[in-house]
Structure formats: C-alpha cells, structure tokens
Amino acid sequence: MNKTEISWTELTWNPMSGCKAISDECRYCYAESLAEDKRGTAAFPQGFALTIRAHKLAEPARIRRPSLIFCNSMSDPGLAELPDEYRSRIFDAIDATPRHRYQMLTKRPEVLLDWLHRTGRRLSPSIWMGVTIGSPHHVSLARLPLLRQFRALGAEVLFVSAEPLLGSLPLDLDGIDWIITGGESGRHYSDPAVLADRFLVRAGAKGEPNWVPRQDRADWVRRLRDEAERAGCAHWFKQWGGPRPTSGGRMLDRRTHDGMPLHVAGAMPDGYNHAVPHHHADERRSLPLAHF
C-alpha cells in the first residue's frame, strides 16, 4: 500500500500489475512507462506483463484508519487475463475491510460484469465502481451504459474518470455520482505533434507561465463540469497537465473543483476529513488569463 500524489485518493493498492492498451487513453500509459523503465528489477521483473502480487492481498487489513484506496493504479481489475480465482481473492480482501472505500477503475466493465454474473457475486458497498472515458470514440463512450449496470449489482457510487481528456465528450451523467476530469501529463509532451494532438496545455510564450491551459480546449472541461452540475454529479478537476500533473495547475474559471460524492449516504470512510489533499502553493501563479 502506497501513499500517492493522485489528488482524489489517499492510498494506492496494487495486488497485481501489468495491462494491455485497448483504447486511445492507453497510448501513453504512465503505469506502463514506469514498469518498463524498471523491467528486470525486483519490483518489475517482467516489466508491464501481468504480474500477480499475492503478498499484497493482506495490506488493506493492516491499514487501521478508514481510508480512500485506489485499486488498481498499475493494472485494470477487469483485465481478461487475470484468473477468476485471483480476482475473487481481491474482492474477498475488499469485503473483509469494509471500513475502507475502494475506488475501482476499469476500461473493461464488460469483463467485470460477466464475472459478477457468472459467480453470482455482488459488489461490497465499500466499492466505488468507475470507468475511464476520455476519448469521444465509440470504444470509450460505450463504457457508460455498462457502468450503470453495476448499480443493480450493489455499487452505491458510480464514477467516470475523464482523464486523459482527449476531446469533447457527449456524456449524459444522469445516475452517475462522481466525475474526474483532467488533461494528459507525461514525458511524451516533448514530441510537438503529440503535445498539439493530445494535451490541454501549450508551452507558454514570453511573459507567461511555462505551461498554459489552451483556450480552444477549455470548453471540453467546462462541458463536463456543466453536465455534472445538471445531473447532480460531483466533479473533481484534477489537472490541466503538461510534463507533470501539476505543470498547468488545476484552476478552472478562477477556482478549483474538488467535488466528492458526499451526497451518497455512506460513500466516504468514517471520519474522512473532506479537504483537497494536494493543493499547490503556486496554483494561482499558474493562471495566465483571467478567463481561467
């Protein structure tokens, strides 16, 4: 179990690592870059190939304080190659620690739905079930109706991660409790064509900050913010992005958007102190224009 710089959670839990790219959002996967950079080491002997880490199944029980836990930052719990027996052991560990809240994010909701139906299993109320929808292409948009099916299987919090946000998304967020939005970050910013194609920021001109939110793409975020407000869905804007997640700041229209699904009874861990974990002291200096 690791503390994390991911602003919308507290801890990351990785009972396995490794995945395969299946859609636009995966193209510059930070987890793959990290694992492949360390291929052959004790931490990642197989790089980003699927690696079972059974010794980590006991970690949630050792964390006494009720916590927000992102499962799984280095893989996908819906990965088809994950053996059913081991997937069951992951969910058993979750069921045994109801004091925590597990933010479970997948790009393969159909795999998890099939597994739940085949096994007759229901989701623990401590699981927040989420899907990644960052691209306007059908393969990403098709995940939203599948996400809604988890409600009947016990999910009390449904969420969308629109990160990396790669276009204007025509989402209907009725029945969705939480959405995370954010631009791309990573070392691939150094390719000018990739920067122009995928990022929500541009390099600053003279007299500007190093990284500036792109006015022509800011409405991609605003569209989802406004849809979330209409649908009664909490909104967390994580970042504009750039070389690092913090490069462009996280202010949208002169404020941060720090929504959590507080409106869902029992969603948060007992005693959770609702505060932004990772505000940055230079946040306001990242604003080049009053428009933002």
Dihedrals phi, psi of 62, to nearest 5 degrees: -80, -15
pTM recorded for the entire structure: 0.91
Residue 276 pLDDT: 43
Q: Which residues of the chain have pLDDT under 70?
A: 273-292
Residues 290 and 97: their CA atoms lie apart, in Å, by: 46
Q: What is the pLDDT of residues 161-182, one digit of tens each?
A: 999 999 999 999 999 999 999 9
CA distances from 21 to 136, 147, 173, 207 (A): 17, 20, 26, 39
Count of CB atoms situated within 10 Å of the CB of 195: 17
Residue 272 pLDDT: 79
Residue 202 pLDDT: 96
Dihedrals phi, psi of 3, to nearest 5 degrees: -70, 155
Domains in the chain, CATH or no CATH each: 2-268+275-286 (3.80.30)
